[in-house]
Amino acid sequence: MTQIEDDEDGGRLRSFRGAADTALSIMCFVIAVGHIYVAFDPVLSELERNAFHFAGFALLAALLYPMWRGPSGRASPLAVDLVIGIAVAASAVWLAFAENAIYDRGVKFSTADWVAATICIIGAIELTRRVAGLIIPILIILALTYVSYWGRFVGGVFAFPGLSVETVAFRSIYGDDAMFGSIARISSTYVFLFIIFGAFLLRSGAGEFVINMARAVAGKMVGGPGIVAVIASGLTGTISGSAVANTASTGVITIPLMKRAGFAPKFAGGVEAAASTGGQLMPPIMGAGAFVMASFTQIPYEKIVAVAALPALLYFLSVAFFVRIEARRHNLPPMPNEGQTLGSAFKEGGASFLIPIGTLIALLVSGFTPTYAAVFGILAVVGSSWLTKNPMGPKAVYEAFVMGSKGMVLTAILLCSVGLIVNVIATAGIGNTFSLMISSWAGGNILVALILIALASLILGMGLPVTAAYIVLATLSAPALSGMISDQFVITQLATGSLPDAAKAVLLFGMPDQAEMLSRDLSRAEAAGLIQTLPLEIAAPLRDLVVPPTVALSALLSAHMIIFWLSQDSNVTPPVALAAFTAAAIAKSPAMATGVASWKLAKGLYIVPVLFAYTPFLSGDWPAMIQVFLFAVVGIYALSAALQGCMEKPFGYLMRALCLIAGLASLWPDALVFNLAGVAAVFALLFWNVRFARSAQNGATV
């Protein structure tokens, strides 16, 4: 027996009952356990594993997401969806074992290969439409037809002579970046195992502990319910890595709490959406972003999550500042004590959260692979649950595996299918062309490049889930942004006269008309103007000569992290803001008004990437990173106060202007004197504001 029910993304899923539900659950269990087994005993090749991964989740997606869903609740017949799912899954499995035969025939498809490839690609497009909407399928169709047909009619730099349909089909299946390529590998290993880990944490009661701990820590503070939402969403983000799932799970508790405390419904929903968006920035899971980033950059996963911790904390602090300031602006009292203490929260369920997360982080820091760490993290969840009131027996373990597989359906289909787009970008060289265009439009100015990328991410985010938007945008623009960040080191060397002789020779060869300028001392502005106008054929070898490998690696990571952060804004930015709209439904507030509130609260998404570009915030140099963090905390607090017109007491436009200037000075890169002056000004303004507030309460004049 089946019926249609709403899922957390606002879509409509087919639910199962009775024998059908049992069969589906067994399938989910087998898929999850099979992935764990293959992770430790590679009985399949990488291509075969990725194809089986897609096949299993294609069948699940066909069953769970009907082909059509009528307004009355009627959906496509289950038998039709079952046949489609089996056909797509069987085609993927066939193609996994057909590779050698195709090569033996001189990379020629047989009739059976043609049928399987056609069903597999069309099936991927259709299933992506079901789970993620129309935008990605349209992009896939445009991409495939571009390299096979209409690219030859495009003029200029994007002209493409065209490939045969057979070549396009072969590369779409077997290419390094294709359906069963590098992105599918990330999905079939790291991402799915961490999704299962999160499902085990939730099933063990760790989510309840997170809420209880947040209420114990922040419940009695000014703006406590909002800060509870920030803490709970940050910790839940270490479990789920999904902004919408985070909003749906914690929002049902935190949003009513905030409304009872006096926060406006749209603000309460905005806080939850903004805080939940930070869940995808929070190590160790970070949605699928950290795994994809590790694959793109070849930077170890453990290094990425290590340097991502301080920026994520800074983001959550930025949201918490808004909450406290809003509470002070409306003079809202702290939440009454409901008896929950930190000790009681830890006693009831602390072990089920802290021991597995601690085990996971310890294994990653010790150099174990994410796959190994995730599996032993799952075992730690089961073991630690017996120290709480929710011990996990065989039934709970089975349910957690099933929950993990169901929670992976959208991500698995998305990551495999988006490979069809990435493969075309790599084949046609669109990424390099787009990067050159960004460099040209920005004129070497990083801030202009950031604005262009932010606009592109916002437009892509209106139709693509966050991970897909990051993959597409990173493929297109990361090389250009990484190069511009690396150029900052070259500019410094040129301005200080430290440029090696070989590098000067490259400059003279590429720009002989600037020989006079290169023969004298240059200001930083002159050096920047010179480097930013270099053509790529000169700039690239110059970077190779001047920029140390560690600096180049830091620039690459900064570029990808900037794009990943900016990709998150689609969660909170109208007109498409899934996390904000989910929160609005819970808060019973207008969707667009809640979206605007969440966008305002999530300003850290735009401020922190600027720090990535201009400071050593991701360099791995911890003293420098902590220094940037501390100045940024003060600066973001001042900017929040300027936007809200309040610190501990509301104030007027003059005070807002002073807070804005002090905040910018605190954040200004590579300017320690400015930073110290900005911090001093912020504390002076805060002291004045606190004194004014107390004087006003006593009836005094200031």
> Which residue from 552, 548, 430 is spatially nearest to 481, judged by alpha carbons?
552
Tens-place pLDDT, residues 448-501: 889 888 888 877 776 667 777 888 888 888 888 999 999 888 888 888 888 888
Q: Is 336 helix (H, G, I), strand (E, B) or coil?
A: coil
Look up residue 405 and give its two tokens.
Answer: 């597989």
Nearest to residue 107, comparing CAs of 164, 50, 179, 45? 164
Tokens of 385: 């649950």
The Cα 646–Cα 655 span in angstroms is 9
**pLDDT computed for residue 431 by the predictor:** 74
Give the pair of three-digit tokens for residue 461: 């985010």
Q: How far is CA 554 from CA 473, 550, 551, 601, 607, in A?
A: 19, 6, 5, 29, 19
The SS3 of residue 216 is: helix
Distance from the Cα of residue 666 to its chain's centroid: 27
CA–CA separation, 238 and 214 (whole Å): 14
Grouping H, G, I as helix, E, B as strand and the rest as coil, residue 23 is helix
Look at residue 227 in the predicted model and tell me its pLDDT.
85
CA distance 659 to 652: 11
pTM: 0.81
Estimate to the nearest angstrom the gap between the alpha carbon of 411 and the chain centroid.
13
Q: Mean pLDDT, 10 residues at a time, over the chain (702 residues)? A: 46 80 94 91 89 96 88 80 96 94 91 96 94 86 92 82 91 90 87 87 81 74 79 73 74 82 89 87 77 86 88 93 89 70 73 83 81 88 87 93 91 89 86 76 85 82 74 86 90 84 80 72 81 79 88 92 89 77 86 88 91 91 94 95 90 93 93 94 93 54 34
> What pLDDT, on a 0 to 100 scale, did the predictor assign at position 504?
80
Contacts of 138 (CB under 8 A, 6+ apart): none
Burial 609-631 (b: 16+ CB within 10 A, else e): bbbbbbbbbbbeeeeebebbbeb
